[in-house]
Structures are given as C-alpha cells and as structure tokens.
C-alpha cells in the first residue's frame, strides 16, 4: 500500500523567512496530494492540494510542487507569519479509492 514520509518533524524559522516541508510517497499511481494545517487544539483543515497533472500550484504565500518522477512533493510558505505556526500534514491518495494516507506531520514554529 501507499506510504508517505514527511520531513522534518519539527521546523523553526524566523518570522519573514521561508519554510519548506518535504514529503515522499511510494505508490507511483497516487495522483492527489493535499496538505492540511492543524492549529493547536483545532481540527486539520485543507490549505492547498495538487493533482498529478500539474507540477506546481500557488495560493498567495503558499505553494506546492510535485515531482512525479522522484515521487516527492513539497510545501513552501514564504514571508512566514506567527499565524503560520501549526502542525502541517502532507497526504497522498490513489484514484481508485478515497483513502488518504497522511505523513506524520511537521510542527512549524515561527520565531519572533
């Protein structure tokens, strides 16, 4: 089955700097890659997703890139702000079912 690895498990960046979180997946048939953000004490919420027919997607300060050949995808947050502090989960999904396999999460700390 699909396996998703996520790195790093913890990341601290200065406010205003960029943050990058990387994930790899094992099943080349995966074609949907969502990213969820979970603030302390709250539910995970989708922040951006990408499908395998595109290589990059951007939404304001957040971007996701996908390299299908290497089977990895990354989340990029630019000009980080205090409210970006949270746990971020990457995930991968196959087209033939709705199971989403999550990475173990990255705890992002934005330092003042």
Partner 1 sequence: DVKVTQSSRYLVKRTGEKVFLECVQDMDHENMFWYRQDPGLGLRLIYFSYDVKMKEKGDIPEGYSVSREKKERFSLILESASTNQTSMYLCASSGGLRTTDTQYFGPGTRLTVL
**Binding residues for partner 1 (CB under 8 A):** 1, 6, 9, 31-32, 34, 42-46, 49, 89, 93-95, 97-105
User: What backbone phi and psi angles, to 5 degrees, belong to 84?
Assistant: -80, -10
Q: How far is the CB of 88 from partner 1 (least distance, A)?
A: 11
Q: Which of 2, 54, 50, 6 is nearest to 29 (CA)?
A: 2
Name which of 97 and 112 has its Cβ closer to partner 1: 97
Q: Could you give the angle at the alpha carbon of 22 between the alpha carbons of 104 and 85, nearest 5°?
A: 70
Name which of 39 and 79 has its Cβ closer to partner 1: 39
Q: How far is the CB of 98 from partner 1 (least distance, A)?
A: 5
Residues contacting residue 107 through CB under 8 Å, at least 6 positions apart: 9, 10, 11, 86, 87
Name which of 32 and 78 has its Cβ closer to partner 1: 32
Name which of 52 and 78 has its Cβ closer to partner 1: 52
Q: How far is the CB of 6 from partner 1 (least distance, A)?
A: 8
Q: How far is the CB of 100 from partner 1 (least distance, A)?
A: 6
* Cα(40)–Cα(28) distance, integer angstroms: 33
């Amino acid at each position: 089955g699909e396996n998703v690895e996520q790195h790093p498990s913890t990341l601290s960046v200065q406010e205003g700097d960029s943050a990058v979180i990387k994930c790899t997946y094992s099943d080349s048939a995966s074609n949907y890659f969502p990213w969820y953000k979970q603030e302390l004490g709250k539910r995970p919420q989708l922040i951006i997703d990408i499908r395998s027919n595109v290589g990059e997607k951007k939404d304001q300060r957040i971007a996701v890139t996908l390299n299908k050949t290497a089977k990895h995808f990354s989340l990029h947050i630019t000009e980080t702000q205090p409210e970006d502090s949270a746990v971020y989960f990457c995930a991968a999904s196959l087209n033939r079912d709705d199971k989403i396999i999550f990475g173990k999460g990255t705890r992002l700390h934005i330092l003042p």
